[in-house]
Amino acid sequence: MSVVLVTGGSGFIGSQCILQLLSAGHRVRTTVRNPQREGDVRALLKQAGTDPEDRLSFVAADLQYDPGWSEAAAGCDYVLHVASPFPPGIPKNEDELIIPARDGTLRVLRAARDAGVKRVVMTSSFAAIGYGHEQRTMPYDETDWTNLDGTDVSAYAKSKTLAERAAWDFIAREGKGLELCVVNPVAVFGPLLTSDMSPSILLIQRLMSGSLPACPRLYFGVVDVRDVADLHLRAMTHAAAKGERFLAIADNILSMQDVAMVLRNRMGTNARKVPTRQLPDWLMRVVALFDPAARLILPELGKKKGATNEKARRLLQWAPRSSEEAIVATAQSLVELGLLKGAAASA
Asked if the model's pLDDT at residue 94 lies above 80, the reply is yes
Helix (H, G, I), strand (E, B) or coil at 46: helix
Residue 135 to residue 302: CA distance in whole angstroms = 10
- In the structure, what pLDDT confidence band is assigned to residue 51 with cuts at 50, 70 and 90? confident
pLDDT tens for 185-211 read: 999 999 998 777 777 898 899 899 988
pLDDT of residue 334: 94
Mean pLDDT for the chain?
A: 91
Between 344 and 280, residue with greater pLDDT: 280
Asked if the model's pLDDT at residue 232 lies above 80, the reply is yes
Q: Provide the Cα torsion 325, 328, 330, 334; round to 10°.
A: -160
Count of C-beta atoms within a 10 Å radius of residue 302: 10
CATH no. for 3-191+222-251+305-321: 3.40.50.720
Residue 290 to residue 215: CA distance in whole angstroms = 17
pLDDT tens for 101-158 read: 999 999 999 999 999 999 999 999 999 999 999 888 899 999 999 999 988 888 889 9
Residue 132 to residue 157: CA distance in whole angstroms = 9
Share of the chain above pLDDT 70, in %: 96
Mean pLDDT for 12-24 is: 95
Asked if the model's pLDDT at residue 26 lies above 70, the reply is yes
Query: Could you tell me the sign of the dihedral formed by the alpha carbons of 23, 29, 33, 37, in that order?
Result: positive
Helix (H, G, I), strand (E, B) or coil at 336: helix
Asked if the model's pLDDT at residue 346 lies above 80, the reply is no
pLDDT of residue 90: 62
- In the structure, what pLDDT confidence band is assigned to residue 46 with cuts at 50, 70 and 90? confident
pLDDT of residue 345: 35
Residue 126 to residue 107: CA distance in whole angstroms = 23
Active site residues: 160
The answer to whether 19 and 45 are in contact (CB under 8 A) is: yes
pLDDT of residue 343: 41
pLDDT of residue 298: 85
pLDDT of residue 69: 96
Asked if the model's pLDDT at residue 347 lies above 50, the reply is no
Residue 148 to residue 154: CA distance in whole angstroms = 9
Helix (H, G, I), strand (E, B) or coil at 289: coil
- In the structure, what pLDDT confidence band is assigned to residue 85 with cuts at 50, 70 and 90? low
The answer to whether 331 and 271 are in contact (CB under 8 A) is: yes
Q: Which residues partner with 119 through β-bridges? A: 78, 179
pLDDT tens for 240-253 read: 999 999 999 999 99
- The amino acid occupying position 106 is L
Residue 47 to residue 54: CA distance in whole angstroms = 17
Asked if the model's pLDDT at residue 63 lies above 60, the reply is yes
Rounded to two decimals, the pTM is 0.93
Asked if the model's pLDDT at residue 344 lies above 60, the reply is no
State the helix-helix crossing angle for 12-23 and 225-237, rounded to 10 degrees.
60
In angstroms, what is the C-alpha Rg of the chain? 19
> Closest by alpha carbon to 169, among 112, 125, 109?
109
pLDDT tens for 300-317 read: 898 999 999 999 999 999
Residue 113 to residue 105: CA distance in whole angstroms = 12
pLDDT of residue 342: 45
Q: How many Å from the N-terminal Cα to the C-terminal Cα in the chain?
A: 39
